[in-house]
Chain A
Amino acid sequence: MSVVPEYRGPFGKQQAERLLWRAGFGGRAGEAEALTKLGMKHAVHALTRPAPYQLVGPAPHDERNRPLAPVDAFGHDHLAWLDRMVRTNAPMVERMTLVWHDWFATSNQGVASQQLMLNQVDMFRGNALGSFKDLLVNVTQDPAMLVWLNGNQNVKGKPNENYGREMMELFTLGANRGAYTEIDVREQARALTGWRGSVVNRQPTAFTFDATRHDATDKTIFGKTGNYAWQDSCQLCLDHPMHASYFVTKLWSYFIPTAPDPPTLEALTTLYAGNRVRPVVEAILAHPDFYDGPRMVKPPVVLNAGLLRMSKRYIDTSAWWSLSAQAGQQLFYPPDVGGWDDTRWLDTATFRARWIIAAIVQGADTPTDSPADPMRLTQRAIQFWGSPTVTATTQKLLESFARAQLKRNARPGDVETAVRRLVASSPDLQTA
């Protein structure tokens, strides 16, 4: 049996920083250094096998010191989740929750109930590193999903194909791989009939399986015939010989920007036995490509949470949801059922939003004891962000910028905050 290759190189601060960003939301000061002491394998496990979930730090509030209202106030759903990303002791759980929010992308644009959206994401969180089967079965009967892809309107005699198609195309099997036919789409839709329920005035109403709406006759799916119900519909997808390769390739793409080589793919597929997520994630996070390959652009919400963590700030303004939206990612509002496009986060418009996010995290605080030495000043500005590794290229330019500004008699405090801004917007911090 093939084994997934494992990274054998040095596990220093840079490797630990990449792990913290891709399997979470970056580290606070000293966190990366602490991880290096564990060695790569244990560092991965520290993230994927966390202690009981806790939120640490002050409770979130808006700019007028009022508590958040995630169910009722527009944008506060985003803020409440961002708060978890900042305060959790188990960042990998939140990061995987974000993966599932993208994988089973559901938008409140179509659901119109923040309560149902929050419930769905709670369900993802509860299964974050558990069983993909549980995720699929739960999401198939999830009220927000039933509304979003019309499963609540899929009725015996008049099937609605929307969910059944995307379940195969996006959630389990993939398009154009020869995994299913249009007939399978129709037959799946019939097997999935029976759910009802709706959102009335933002209130979820009567979500339930109604046997009188279910088509209880034979269906033929993937060449097998039976009186399939919705649970069978899920199981048939999971048992499909092309599911495992789809699953591991898609999961891989959230963590590593280059495609897995065929032996790796095969070994990961084997590791996915029993639809267990954690072993596959752990193998991906320990793979040589994870550490040796190119950097990935941080998703906007990951960057936002990370900048807050690095600068020891918490949620004390409601600015973040709108800024994150301008940067291309408002939680609970993915662009469509295909989710966000992880390859296209950066353009001139989203760069501007990222810049403003950094400016607001940084705030108006200006130190009064800034050193007049450009190198020490630069060092202090990097310390503001918890001393992340900065490339030599960037470091050199930051220092010469500081030198030039100080020579022009700019106030050292202003120069230091300027360098803070440049660190946060640098390609170094925008990627991991």
Chain B
Amino acid sequence: MSCYDCSRADLFRKAVAQAGRGLPEIEPGMPLPAGTGMTRREFVSRTAGLALAVYGGAALSGKALDYGIAQAASDAATTQKTLVTIFFNGGIDGLSVLFPAGDPRYYSLRPNLALAQTAGRPFTEDGRLRWHPGANGLATLHDEGKVSVIPAVGYDNSNQSHFTSRHYYEVGGTDASLRTGWLGRYLDHVGTQDNPLQGLTLDVAMHPSIATATVPVATLAAADQYTFAPGGGLPPHPLEASILQEAANIGAAHAKSGDAGLATAGKIAYDSHHLYYGLGAVRNGFNSPVGYPSSADPFPRRLAGLAAMLAAGLPVSVVGLTFGHFDTHAGQAGVLQRDLQLASDSLLAFQRDLEARGIADRVVTHVWSEFGRRAAENASGGTDHGSAGVGFLIGTKVKGQMLGSHPGVTSGLDASGNLKPTADFRAVYAALLEQWFGADSNAILPGVAGLARPALLK
């Protein structure tokens, strides 16, 4: 069958990437994803050597943004601190990632899903717990003191809707009406008008955690096949370049239309043309000093690209990525083994990459999921939505000690059979903003003044 520069495998990968993006359709009563409504355009940064989708900063030309990036890069190249936030999509089962091997109740709650008492590696900080065999990469980094585990992170009265709970984590509060991300508000406080790379999403659409109100941020997707030739046996049109140019002209003429639909379609036509020409300068190739897992999933390659960008001194302050299909209502064992292994191996490779490049001290990685899963398994070889979940902070600068204890599955469950939180995600956010960035978290996160901050760094 004819197929236009794609294969069936590519399509599945794309479908997976979109599922991983998981931005909810906007339903009545459902919170809007943070960042909805921000203007978006594309430009090619010569400084970065990359095509960027920029949200906000509409008043500035691509040249001005480029200048801003260059300026910020020279100001901050060697001191730039970066926070990478990684969303494990679907609600990963924390009780499998670090499982209470020492607790007989775990085995009665999970007659089919429980891991063997000798499976995986022991968790050195708490003799009752062991690492899932798929999490060896994280266990290795933990043994080196580079992982702080948050074994039961959450908030009171956990919302068990994927879309709503995720929104809370993205905006940094249990407020469905907030429209900016917690890291976006940080950028609004300290960022500049001319450096969109300060908040970078490595995905096909902006990570809502870094949606800002006032300063521009960027989204970067792989753009290595951005050609407008139809293929499929059709010759390129003799006037192809002129047509593209004219499509951009027509687009530009509508981009400021009072009609929102015409304006959107016009802007995209213009941006696409701009991107098409600019991409001539892009060199997608980069070399990694370490090996990454080979996978059809874009996650490891995105991390490898990020390490290369950070090593090049690009002024990236916060970065958002998304990975996985952790909504394991059925057939959990296989899915979790596969995806946790890929995530964990990728995170290990990323850390080794940063270390090999000598920039590990400048980067902290934060891993989160929208909730954990029910302590009791269901009859489908899976688990349903729960409350407190597992999170991680990774890096050479993190303390490498648990934040909050593991509540256990005997006395640690609430009336619904869900794990009770021993750490509040907002306290972790506040501590990250204060201790990693030296920012005033009370001005950024609503209602955190009364929360005790855990000590995160060495």
Contacts and interface: CB of A to CB of B under 8 A. Distances in A.
Q: Do A and B come from one complex?
A: yes
Given A246-B28, A342-B25, A319 B4 contact: yes
Nearest to B51: A348
B75 interface: no
A418 B237 contact: yes
Contacts of B440: none
Given A154-B379, A162-B384, A182-B416, A174 B4 contact: no
A294 B261 contact: yes
Interface stretch (A26-34, A42-50, A112-120, A351-359): A351-359
Given A323-B4, A341-B25, A343-B36, A160 B378 contact: yes
A421 B11 contact: no
B253 interface: yes
Nearest to B327: A162
B330 A349 contact: no
Interface residues of B, number: 80
Interface string B5-43: 010100110110011011111111111000010001010
Interface string A404-432: 01000011001101100110011110110
A338 B204 contact: no
Contacts of B264: 297, 346, 427, 431
Contacts of A177: 28-29
A257 B260 contact: yes
Nearest to B26: A343
B364 interface: no
B254 interface: yes
Contact of B265 (A175, A297, A340, A398): A297
Contacts of A75: 1
B238 interface: yes
Contacts of B257: 393, 427
A295 B30 contact: no
B261 A257 contact: yes
A427 B269 contact: yes
A431 B4 contact: no
Interface stretch (B156-164, B312-320, B424-432): B156-164
Contacts of A63: 1-2
Contacts of B24: 338, 341
B58 interface: no
B27 A319 contact: no
Given A352-B228, A422-B250, A427-B266, A326 B29 contact: no
B15 A295 contact: no
A347 B51 CA distance: 13
Contacts of A89: none
A281 to B, nearest CB: 17
B18 to A, nearest CB: 4
Contacts of B4: 319, 322-323, 326, 356
A223 interface: no
A333 interface: yes
Interface string A160-199: 1110010001100011110000100110000000000000
A393 B385 CA distance: 52
Contacts of A330: 11, 15
Contact of A333 (B2, B15, B42, B160): B15
A176 B168 CA distance: 12
A347 B205 contact: yes
B125 to A, nearest CB: 32
Interface stretch (B62-70, B240-248, B303-311): B240-248
Interface residues of A, number: 90
Contacts of B36: 343
B209 to A, nearest CB: 17
A421 B26 contact: no
Interface string B364-405: 000000000000011111101100000000000000000000
B271 interface: yes
B28 A297 contact: no
A66 B247 CA distance: 36
Interface string B140-160: 000000000000000000011
A60 interface: no
B373 to A, nearest CB: 11
Contacts of B23: 341, 344
B27 A250 contact: yes
Contacts of A182: 160, 416
Nearest to A265: B28
A325 B243 CA distance: 24
Nearest to B253: A393
A338 B24 CA distance: 6
B379 A158 contact: yes
A160 B384 contact: yes
Contacts of B205: 344, 347
B96 interface: no
Nearest to A394: B250
A343 B24 CA distance: 11
B2 A317 contact: yes
Given A176-B29, A351-B269, A74 B15 contact: no
A364 B385 CA distance: 53
B251 A427 contact: yes
Given A161-B385, A175-B30, A109 B19 contact: yes
B246 A414 contact: no
A295 B31 contact: no
A41 B230 CA distance: 41
B163 A175 contact: yes
Nearest to B380: A153
22 contacts: A75-B1, A150-B330, A160-B379, A162-B384, A186-B416, A294-B261, A319-B2, A322-B4, A325-B6, A330-B11, A338-B163, A344-B205, A346-B268, A349-B204, A351-B268, A359-B230, A391-B254, A397-B246, A418-B246, A422-B247, A427-B269, A431-B262
Given A160-B384, A175-B164, A348-B268, 10 more contacts: A62-B1, A154-B380, A162-B329, A176-B29, A355-B247, A422-B250, A427-B257, A427-B264, A427-B266, A431-B265
Interface of B: 1-4, 6, 8, 11-12, 14-15, 18-19, 21-31, 36, 40, 42, 53, 159-161, 163-164, 176, 204-205, 221, 226, 228, 230-232, 234-235, 237-239, 242-243, 246-247, 249-251, 253-254, 257, 259-266, 268-269, 271-272, 275, 329-330, 377-382, 384-385, 416
Q: 10 tightest CB-CB pairs across the interface, nearest first?
A: A295-B261, A153-B380, A158-B379, A427-B265, A431-B261, A359-B230, A174-B29, A177-B29, A155-B379, A430-B265
